[in-house]
Structure 1
Amino acid sequence: MFANYLIGLREGLEAALIVGILIAYLVKIDRRDLLGRVWAGVAIAIAVALGVGAILTWGPYGLSFQAQEILGGGLSIVAVGFVTWMVFWMGRTAKDLATNLRSGIDRAAQGAGWGIVLLAFLSVGREGVETALFVWSTVGPSSDTSSGAAWGAFTGVLLGILTAVVLELLIYRGLLRINLSKFFTWTGYALIVVAAGVLAYGVGDLQEAGALPSWGAPLYDISGVIPPTGVLGSLLGGLFGFTPIPTPLQVVAWVLYLVTCLILFTRLVRSKKSPATASASAPATVPETA
């Protein structure tokens, strides 16, 4: 549940910040007539994200076990790719987010301003689809939608999104100032760890389907110490995709991904720590331009 709360909070805050920037800038340039366009784009984006979630949830039921495992493993890897891209993209562009969006708004607001609908849809829709895909990959295609895991995932992401909305409202009203650079840095590290577990989970699904070699017996078995159905095993599984009986390929994929991404992300974070970029938390103060 925590992993899904984290992805909901992270993606939700990104989307909420973007919407806040759009609204604040339109108010500043006296184009309040286009605010309805923003909400139309947001509504379409939410509908698309819900549609993707529905397709992922109920679509695989008619497939064979092997097909479900291939679909689940493949989409888990795709979800890891999306989340990794999102973590590094925000790490590079957080300080320029407001400037880039304002330039896009200036172009989209020309004429009747229907481009604002597209801008809002693309900006928010990307976050929504990424959230749906990643959350679904942590539950799996074969999970019962009425199961505790499915409802826990849904509850976690919903709470994360609601938290993000509340934070953005407080930021917009000037009641809260947070260092978004640190926020996105630490959640970036946490999501890299979570994504490593999802990657290992996806590799395991593909091995069960025969799409990847199994490489013989499991590398180790600590299920006697940490039962997968026990409290600790369930907690670690929900947070990090932990499995007490991993295959060699799962361990190799987990280690390679985790080490590589942590090194690259740390280098990115350190490269931003200079006097010229000390104001990387600027997105938190964007609403003040209204």
Structure 2
Amino acid sequence: MNWSAALPTFVITLREGVEAALVVGIVLAYLKRVGRSQLHLWVWAGVGVGIATSAMVGVGLSQLVQGLGSASQQYGPVVEPLLEGLFSVLAIALLTWMLVWMTQQSRFLKSQVEGAVGKSLQRQTRQWGIFILIWVAVLREGFEAVLFITAKLQEGVVPALGAIAGVSAAAVIGIALFRLGIRIDIRQFFYGMGILLLLIVAGLVVTALGLFDTALSTLAHLDRKSEALCFFYERFSKQPACILGPMVWNTSKILPADRFPGILFSAFFGYTDTLYVVQFIAYLGFLLAAGSLYFRSLGKRPESGRLVHPRVE
């Protein structure tokens, strides 16, 4: 079993889980401060339902991919990688957007969450307002991880195990912050996680293009009318891919992607021992574009480098 496939989902769910834990901790601390500790139960209900909903979405997407892939015996080998490629694109877009958006909004997170809680407390259905606030926060972070795991379906259940470990680690960090009062430099944590997440998502760009190439290449072999889709076959004589152009390198004998340490590079950074021109250009292009947006979004320093909240009993 390839346990290295659990590492990217562990990193992503750890980061997204800590974001959700911060929202939960801020809400719990605020409710205690204003004498509304009896609403804590609704907070934990929102957390539980949010995690359950994310898991249900993940199972549903997995069943959709497998169902559509097996619906047609002839085109099943085309549909499954095509769908996984589409989910990869969605995961790339959502993870990148959330990375940049959350970095920009992090300095205002506490005031925004407390403002939303304050408005909910003014309504008669205050408990449902708290529940929905937490449920949406957890589901938002969970949906990103679910899309990433769905895009990695070909690697089996291992990515899901990595996600469970990431959520557990995020819960431990949340407890350390809000119940034990441990000081953690949360700004540096998100800075490091952000850089690692950029590299992981850039690797997903390579994987997505490989999935599209596999789908179209298989389609071209199954249906001669679709042979024109593989336009690089006619333009390059030496090892071209269907839509990815000529090969940049083949390091399968020097650093195979299915053996250590290549297997770790593959898990974290999308390393492949057979890289093609289009993948290489897309990888660098994504890093330059998304990286510049991310580092620009860091902008001003947040209100406090260390996030410290009162203990939540």
- Shorter-chain TM-score: what band? 0.7 to 0.9
> Which region of structure 1 is more displaced relative to structure 2, 226-235 or 185-194?
226-235
Is 1:92 the counterpart of 2:104? The answer is yes
Number of the residue aligned with 2:150: 136
Whole-Å separation in 2 of the counterparts to 1:69 and 1:169? 40
**Which residue type is aligned with residue 43 of structure 1?**
G
Number of the residue aligned with 2:89: 77
Whole-Å separation in 2 of the counterparts to 1:9 and 1:227? 28
Whole-Å separation in 1 of the counterparts to 2:244 and 2:96? 27
Aligned-residue identity in percent: 29
> Structure 1 residues 264, 169: CA separation in 2 closer, same or farther (over 3 Å shift)?
same
Q: How far apart are residue 136 of structure 1 and its match?
A: 2.9
> Which region of structure 1 is more displaced relative to structure 2, 216-225 or 94-103?
216-225
Q: How far apart are residue 280 of structure 1 and its match?
A: 4.3
Whole-Å separation in 2 of the counterparts to 1:243 and 1:97? 38
Is 1:8 the counterpart of 2:13? The answer is yes
Number of the residue aligned with 2:120: 108
Whole-Å separation in 1 of the counterparts to 2:29 and 2:101? 23
> Computing the radius of gyration over CA atoms, which structure comes out larger, 1 or 2?
2
Number of the residue aligned with 1:173: 179
Whole-Å separation in 2 of the counterparts to 1:59 and 1:135? 14
Q: How far apart are residue 288 of structure 1 and its match?
A: 5.2
> Structure 1 residues 157, 265: CA separation in 2 closer, same or farther (over 3 Å shift)?
same
Number of the residue aligned with 2:288: 259
**Which residue type is aligned with residue 118 of structure 1?**
I
Where 2:257 maps in the other structure, the secondary structure is coil
Whole-Å separation in 1 of the counterparts to 2:39 and 2:148? 32
Whole-Å separation in 2 of the counterparts to 1:132 and 1:198? 14
Select 2:304's aligned residue among 250, 254, 279.
279
Which sections of structure 1, spanning at least 5 residues, go unmatched? Answer: none
Number of the residue aligned with 1:67: 79
Q: How far apart are residue 88 of structure 1 and its match?
A: 1.1
**Which residue type is aligned with residue 196 of structure 1?**
A
Whole-Å separation in 2 of the counterparts to 1:287 and 1:53? 35
Q: How far apart are residue 13 of structure 1 and its match?
A: 0.7
Contact 1:95 1:280 in 2 (8 A): no
Where 1:209 maps in the other structure, the secondary structure is helix
Is 1:229 the counterpart of 2:258? The answer is yes
Is 1:196 the counterpart of 2:221? The answer is no
Whole-Å separation in 1 of the counterparts to 2:167 and 2:207? 25
**Which residue type is aligned with residue 11 of structure 1?**
E
Q: How far apart are residue 67 of structure 1 and its match?
A: 1.0
**Which residue type is aligned with residue 198 of structure 1?**
L
Contact 1:66 1:209 in 2 (8 A): yes
Select 2:271's aligned residue among 204, 228, 242.
242
TM-score (norm 1): 0.88
Which sections of structure 2, spanning at least 5 residues, go unmatched? Answer: 1-5, 70-75, 217-228, 231-241
Number of the residue aligned with 1:126: 140
CA deviation digits over 1:81-100, x for unaligned, max 9? 11111211221111211100
**Which residue type is aligned with residue 238 of structure 1?**
A
Contact 2:84 2:211 in 1 (8 A): yes
Highest RCO, 1 vs 2 (Cα 8 Å, sep ≥ 6): 1
Q: How far apart are residue 168 of structure 1 and its match?
A: 1.1
Whole-Å separation in 2 of the counterparts to 1:46 and 1:157? 11
Whole-Å separation in 1 of the counterparts to 2:267 and 2:147? 16
TM-score (norm 2): 0.82
Where 1:242 maps in the other structure, the secondary structure is coil
> Which region of structure 1 is more displaced relative to structure 2, 70-79 or 245-254?
245-254
Q: How far apart are residue 214 of structure 1 and its match?
A: 0.9
Number of the residue aligned with 1:207: 213
